[in-house]
Amino acid sequence: MQFTAQQIALLVSGTIEGSPETTVTSFGKIEEATAGQLSFLANPKYEEYLYSTKASLIIVNENLQLQKNITATLVRVKDAYSAFATLLTTYQNLKAQQKKGIETPSHIASSATLGTDVYIGAFAYIGEKVTIGNNTKIFPGVYIAENVRIGNNTTVHAGVKIYEDCVIGNDVIIHAGTVIGSDGFGFAPQPDGSYQKVPQIGNVIIEDQVEIGANTTIDRATMGSTIIKKGVKLDNLIQIAHNVEIGSQTVIAAQTGISGSTKLGQKIMIGGQAGIAGHLNIADGVKIAGGAGVTKNLDGEGKSYAGFPAEEAKQSLKTQVYTRQLPELEKRVKELEKLVAELVQKEPK
């Protein structure tokens, strides 16, 4: 694909500094880009490469002050990082639009309903009464069970498994290997020490504009629905248990686990490898540090939490400082004990 500086400036509402006819055909990191490539500069740490890069076109912040002459054409925007993300999305969408039609072999049940311009990859399985919206892409090896509904402009990458009765919205991206709607972890202890499985008869609802990373699992509800609300972004290797609700615009990093029936508010940020116990409520705007262990409700809207068990971030830092001092404190206590013992021995009988 080929774009001119003028076309790119129109896409990102930028102003051109240099030749509007500059042409690029691919993308490159600013420190590695070659002639004919488009790059961007958002982080000041990389500004030195602006003066040595071979890139033909560079997206920069509008307030950037040049320290030297450059050879590349610039497109100045309010936010270079967001503008570059917009361009990458446009590029990706153009590529995706090239995929249409149904590859063979694949299985599509006679009762399934497919929208216009749908792509079904080889070895995909589409079950009974499945509904797939317009411009949706189902890549090879995907399994979609009966009564699943998938909206418009959604992408389901290779090897994804979607169990029966689940609902996927519009403009959703589900990456390879993810499993949606597997049974929640429910077992009733029996008098003889065994466990009786509790049937999981609910489903999973994923609202619009959600992105789910590779090899993530989202369990179906015991009853009702596990719900991932609009605009949520999930990283790879995340476990979402049965009946969890995740509020809109929440972002969660890799290897996080959320136990059953916990409710997360809107615009929450969770770092990698965090663990959240079941039946809890997390307030809107909360930030949970990577590796934190949440064992109780977090009611402080907009507050930051860290550590195990999770507490407010400032207190967690103090706790870490005190913990590091324990060996020295132990040494001092032993010295004091020895001194007291010596004083006791010297006392007159």
How many CB atoms within 10 Å of residue 135? 21
- Paired tokens of 206: 């994923």
CA–CA dist 310, 90 (Å, integer): 40
| Pair 273, 256: CB distance under 8 Å | yes
**DSSP character at residue 296:** S
CA–CA dist 235, 257 (Å, integer): 11
Side by side, which strands form the sheet with 211-212?
A: 101-102, 119-120, 137-138, 155-156, 173-174, 211-212, 233-234, 251-252, 269-270, 287-288, 304-306, 311-312
Question: Torsions phi, psi of 45, nearest 5?
Answer: -60, -25
Please give the C-alpha separations between residue 102 and each of 52, 115, 116, 137, in angstroms, as whole numbers: 47, 12, 12, 10
CA–CA dist 304, 287 (Å, integer): 5
Hey, which residues does 162 pair with through a beta bridge? 144, 180
- Paired tokens of 97: 């639009």
User: How close are the terminal C-alpha atoms of the chain, in Å?
Assistant: 98
User: 96: helix, coil or strand?
Assistant: helix
| Pair 101, 119: CB distance under 8 Å | yes
- Paired tokens of 177: 């290997």
- Catalytic residue check, 157: no
- Paired tokens of 260: 């059953």
Catalytic residue among 107, 157, 175, 242: 242
CA–CA dist 348, 222 (Å, integer): 75
Active site residues: 242
